Amino acid sequence: MRNDPRRFLLGTLLVGALGCDTETPVEGWQFWDEGPALRGPGYPGTTFAEDELWVACGAVAGGPTDQLHHNLQAPYRGHLLLPWSPELGTGGLSVIDMADPCNPVAVGVTESDAIRETHAIGSVYLPPDDPHAGDWVFTNGKEFGSFLSGVLVWNLDDPAAPVESTLVTIPDALYPDSYTRVVLSLFVQYPWMYVASADNGVYVFDITDPRAPVRVTQVTFGLRAGGVFALGNELLVTSAEQTNAALLDIADPANPVLMPGSPFPTPGRAGLGVETYHGNRVGDWAFFARKEGGGGPIVMSLSDPTEPVFIADVEHAGNGGYVFYDEGTLFVGESDHGSVWDAADPAALTLVGTGDLAGDLDTNVPWGNVMLLSVDEPETDVATAVVPWRAEPDRDGPILLAHDPDDGTRGWLTSARVGLSFNEFIEPASAWPGSVRLLDGEDNPVDGWVSTQETTVSYVPKAPLQAGATYTVEVKGIQDIHGNVMEGTASFQFTTGGG
């Protein structure tokens, strides 16, 4: 996100290598007049009394065959997506109506032997005129009976009947061992997908045709890759049960390279590396869930990606799992409870409260003024509890915290990909080539793809940009899962190298 002189050089070299194969306006192409419609009610929000807070008001169930092994859940076109899968056995994907958060309703359920415990959900909507049209969702996958893990592609054209489309397994990614070689998470920056596979490192896939993902490359760098988070041309890789993380330069997605200063330690206040279970990126902040020393979050700044800086940590009773961010608040799974932290000032974290659910509680997902506490080893018949943590529903639209490239960046690659990082989960239906626009110097629209994952929106041009040209990015109308719309229009410019 910074003005990096290496990227000017790379941009110039790529222009020379690509020759005349640069972006030109597509005759007759314009931004879409409107994006895909919501198919579910979203989460309009419920007001809770003070005595209703921090106590479960309901449960999310995936349907009559749900094996009650839950992890991450995510929004998609007005619904909640719930993958569920025991480590050895049949799982499935359920589509949930969350209009009444205390009484969730499964509106679509599909069983699958090929789904595996899922810690990240990617998605992209491709319109009817696209050769690969459809609603595509990506979860973790497994080959039943062979113990190979990988990625499972779903088609959600009909939310009442999710369709298992394609399973792509990865050699040597073996899921009976939960940490050393298995696929742990993924990130979709369509038409690219980055897959974290523990000691196997990071795999890059070309998913231009979601039905036929192609493995392009593998990169290892001495890090047990647990989480991957792409913002423009930067990829944050968090570790699984290790004391470091890394930033990769993915300006050339087929050839990711470590950025200077990576891998870097995830330190506590003593300055030594602290073992973390997972992490996340929002804006220029990296958040980690402390595994050792009693749990609690760690915050680092990525403002200079070549020199990540420790900001704060808090030791807290528990054993950290996954961490998420919502409008200045952190949500952490702590194995035996879920904690909520005021992170309005990331340097001064304060505990807001905790919620409980019997079982191995690694995942605490924010959903407005309720949180979804999920366990993968339930001790009761509830694997996801809905717990109000704040009385008032969310009425604030998303705020754009950071973007890659920065405003005024010069020498950017002609293969530029634009990353937008917001302060809360984005409703994917609100992000399309119309709410996110890329314009050349004469205000001609640049054809591209838009994909969304959690708090990040990506815009990828379909062809290399012109060398030595200035481009404008405009963002408007982006919504959160409650239908709140961002204020005004955000705009920034960058100039490509070469020319």
- Tens digit of each residue's pLDDT (9 = 90 or more) over 338-364: 999 999 999 999 999 999 999 999 999
Distance in angstroms (rounded) separating the CA atoms of residues 321 and 330: 13
Q: Decide if 236 contacts 249 (C-beta within 8 A).
A: no
What is the β-pairing status of strands 489-496 and 409-412?
A: parallel
Distance in angstroms (rounded) separating the CA atoms of residues 225 and 202: 7
For CA atoms 381, 383, 387, 393, give the dihedral sign: negative
Residues with pLDDT less than 50, the chain: 1-26
| Torsion, CA 385, CA 387, CA 393, CA 398, rounded to 10 | -60
Q: pLDDT tens for residues 93-108?
A: 999 999 999 999 999 9
Using alpha carbons, select from 470, 482, 451 the residue that is nearest to residue 188: 451
Q: Decide if 228 contacts 237 (C-beta within 8 A).
A: yes
pLDDT on residue 268? 75
CA atoms within 13 A on the CB side of 156: 34
Distance in angstroms (rounded) separating the CA atoms of residues 388 and 181: 37
Distance in angstroms (rounded) separating the CA atoms of residues 209 and 310: 40
Domains of the chain: 5-30+397-496 (2.60.40.1220), 56-388 (2.130.10.10)
Distance in angstroms (rounded) separating the CA atoms of residues 295 and 310: 17
pLDDT on residue 11? 38
Give percent helix, percent strand, percent coil of the chain, each to the nearest 5. Answer: 5, 45, 50
Instruction: Give me the chain's average pLDDT, please.
Output: 91
Q: What DSSP designation does 37 have?
A: P
pLDDT on residue 88? 77
- Report which secondary-structure segment, H or E, holds 91: strand 91-97
Place of tokens 């943590």: 389
Neighbours of 173 (CB within 10 A): 24
Neighbours of 113 (CB within 10 A): 16
